[in-house]
Amino acid sequence: MLTSKEIIAKTEKYGTNNYHPKEVVIVSGRGAVVKNPEGKEYFDMLSAYSALNFGHCHPELVRAAKEQLDKLTLTSRAFHNEVLCDFCEKLSALTGKEKILPMNSGAEAVETALKTARRWGNYVKGVPNGRQEIIVCANNFHGRTITIVSMSTDDSAKRGFGPYTPGFRTIPYGDADALEKAITPDTVAFLVEPIQGEAGIIVPPAGYLKKVREICSRHNILMIADEVQTGFARTGKMFACMHENVVPDIYVMGKALGGGILPVSAIAADADILNVFEPGSHGSTFGGNPFACAVGLKAMEILVRDNYPAMAEEKGNYFITKLRQIKNPEIVEIRGKGLLIGVEFSCSAAGYVKKLIENGVLAKETHEKTIRFAPPVIISYEQMDQALAIITDSLTK
Ligand SMILES: *Cc1c(COP(=O)(O)O)cnc(C)c1O
């Protein structure tokens, strides 16, 4: 077996330089713990940006995947398969929405929501085609396609990729008045993360989502919640919008929906919205494939059966309370909901991340100054205590 150093060198030689991973190679994982080629163990406190809410290689998910692998993996949407119907039924029940449109990556689900909103704006609201406008927030993260980076305010995600897709208007995050002011007769939707993940775990002011919901309804524009990172229990509710009892018109979902095994994404909305699609108007070769649906279906069953939202809420409260006991004048804020927690420093967090990793906790800074702690929801209290001891040791100053 290659050593960590050799694996990193080979990856850098042949792989494109579009990522700068931490110098850790992971060869195996179980639950909240992963191992490198040299046998060193780490607690995974990033969970692949919330795709690993179930932890690594959850035995039931692996079994469901293997069973489906031996039976049927792909039909394309040219034919029916027996798993897609159950997947859609289950996701419809979880979201309370009548219809589901399955895709693969989170970015594809966001694109699907944008297409839905534009068509709905034209067909239903009557905005002339080509004039539809969608409002988005500064510092958003919705993925990496040309259209999605067109509505980004992050220079590194955007630079050199023009010409950009028009039709977006950017307002500050967390500011409901700014939304109201930005709406024009051509506005068809507002796309928002209930908590901004990549921006540094930015929790909006209490009542924000409720106000957004009210404004969207009053102006007849669609509220689209990007729950790709916050959905499926991460923040202590099945969906983060539920913290304010808000129901968006469109849920955008991904990451944890694939059980940490494969990319599975979808949007959910009622029929009066998703009926803007007719055969041929949108699709994906792999979207809704039986392999993905079998894993996604099992993931949703486990989420509900084991009450992951309550687990994330309780463990999150425990975790954040312990983090707040850390003494370090360079920590300016600790914030989050459930098991999506950000620790912001007054200085670069890179040195602290290095220490954490050396001591056996995998974490990563986002936007330089904030460390995100988002362990798998299944992490045990004993493991949390062990990880917290390392974190306290590494972050105390
Ligand atoms: C990760 C993420 C996406 C993009 O998902 P991919 O599967 O990487 O395309 C979109 N929105 C949010 C909020 C995300 O965190």
Compute the distance between CA of residue 56 and CA of residue 34 in angstroms, rounded to an integer.
Answer: 8
pLDDT value of position 1: 87
Nearest-CA neighbor of 356 among 16, 1, 134, 24? 24
Selected residue with higher pLDDT from 155 and 397:
155
CA 108 to centroid of ligand 1, rounded, Å:
9
Label residue 258 by pLDDT band (50, 70, 90).
very high
167 lines ligand 1 (CB under 6 A): no
Cβ neighbors of 328 (< 8 A, separation 6 or more) are: 395, 396, 397
Average of pLDDT values for 300-311? 98
Question: In this predicted model, what pLDDT tens digit does every residue of 259-296 receive, in sequence order?
Answer: 999 999 999 999 999 999 999 999 999 999 999 999 99
Sequence ranges of the domains in the chain: 4-57+308-395, 72-305
Compute the distance between CA of residue 154 and CA of residue 138 in angstroms, rounded to an integer.
Answer: 9
243 lines ligand 1 (CB under 6 A): no
Asked whether this chain's domains 4-57+308-395 and 72-305 adopt the same fold, the reply is no
- DSSP letter, residue 196: B
pLDDT value of position 77: 95
Question: In this predicted model, what pLDDT tens digit does every residue of 6-52 receive, in sequence order?
Answer: 999 999 999 999 999 999 999 999 999 999 999 999 999 999 999 99
pLDDT value of position 367: 86
CA 309 to centroid of ligand 1, rounded, Å:
20
Measured from the CA of 254, which atom of ligand 1 is nearest? Answer: 7
Nearest-CA neighbor of 370 among 196, 199, 200? 200
Question: In this predicted model, what pLDDT tens digit does every residue of 337-363 receive, in sequence order?
Answer: 999 999 999 999 999 999 999 999 999
Query: What is the CATH topology of the domain spanning 4-57+308-395?
Result: Aspartate Aminotransferase, domain 1 (3.90.1150)
Q: Is the pLDDT of residue 116 over 90?
A: yes
CA 228 to centroid of ligand 1, rounded, Å:
6
pLDDT value of position 147: 98
Q: What percent of the chain has pLDDT over 70?
A: 100
CA 336 to centroid of ligand 1, rounded, Å:
18
Label residue 65 by pLDDT band (50, 70, 90).
very high
pLDDT value of position 88: 98
CA 283 to centroid of ligand 1, rounded, Å:
19
141 lines ligand 1 (CB under 6 A): yes
C-alpha angle 81-300-237 in degrees, rounded to nearest 5: 145
Sign of CA dihedral 316, 318, 321, 327: negative
Structure tokens at 144: 């990496």
Across the chain, mean pLDDT equals: 98
Structure tokens at 187: 């506005």
How far, in whole angstroms, is CA 299 from its chain's centroid? 15
Question: In this predicted model, what pLDDT tens digit does every residue of 90-112 receive, in sequence order?
Answer: 999 999 999 999 999 999 999 99
Q: Which residues are catalytic?
A: 141, 226, 255
Label residue 243 by pLDDT band (50, 70, 90).
very high
29 lines ligand 1 (CB under 6 A): no
Question: In this predicted model, what pLDDT tens digit does every residue of 173-227 receive, in sequence order?
Answer: 999 999 999 999 999 999 999 999 999 999 999 999 999 999 999 999 999 999 9
Looking at domain 72-305, its CATH architecture is 3-Layer(aba) Sandwich (3.40)
193 lines ligand 1 (CB under 6 A): yes
Q: How many residues does the chain have?
A: 397
Q: Whose CA is nearest to atom 11 of ligand 1?
A: 142
Contact between 7 and 37 (Cβ < 8 Å): yes
Average of pLDDT values for 244-269? 98
For every residue of 340-387, DSSP letters joined together read EEEEEESS-SHHHHHHHHHHTEE-EEETTTEEEE---TT--HHHHHHH
Average of pLDDT values for 228-235? 98
Average of pLDDT values for 123-140? 98
291 lines ligand 1 (CB under 6 A): no
- Bond from prior residue into 279 cis (ω within 30 degrees of 0): no
